[in-house]
Amino acid sequence: MTREQRAHQLEHEARAFHHAHPDVWKHFVRIAIDSLKAGEKRGQRWVWERVRWETNSGGGTYKLNDHHTASYARWFNNRVKPAHFELRTNAPEPVQAEPTQEVLPL
């Protein structure tokens, strides 16, 4: 499997996870925006671990896959200018906005 094929596969898997668990996106956005408003520079991994902690501490029935972190960060960056998270450039092109087209309130 090529690097580009793997990137597309990961994006597809992240979208499927999002559609099954849309509450994860809400947690991700809230935590990232709270961090921005507080003037903190938090990485995508920190946000993802915080989401994991919040969803697991509530007795969640699913697990967060670390491979989805970059997709969630890209989706967030597509709505925030300037982009908040630093990302590698090996993302599949073009990166489609997901999970919704709405602009995030900051």
User: What is the model's pTM?
Assistant: 0.78
Domain membership flag for residue 95:
no
Answer whether 96's CB lies under 8 Å from 79's CB. Answer: no
Domain membership flag for residue 7:
yes
pLDDT, position 46: 94
Domain membership flag for residue 64:
yes
pLDDT, position 36: 87
Domain membership flag for residue 10:
yes
> Which residues lie below 8 Å from residue 14, measured CB to CB, with a gap of 6+?
67, 68, 71, 72, 98
15 pLDDT exceeds 60?
Answer: yes
pLDDT, position 94: 47
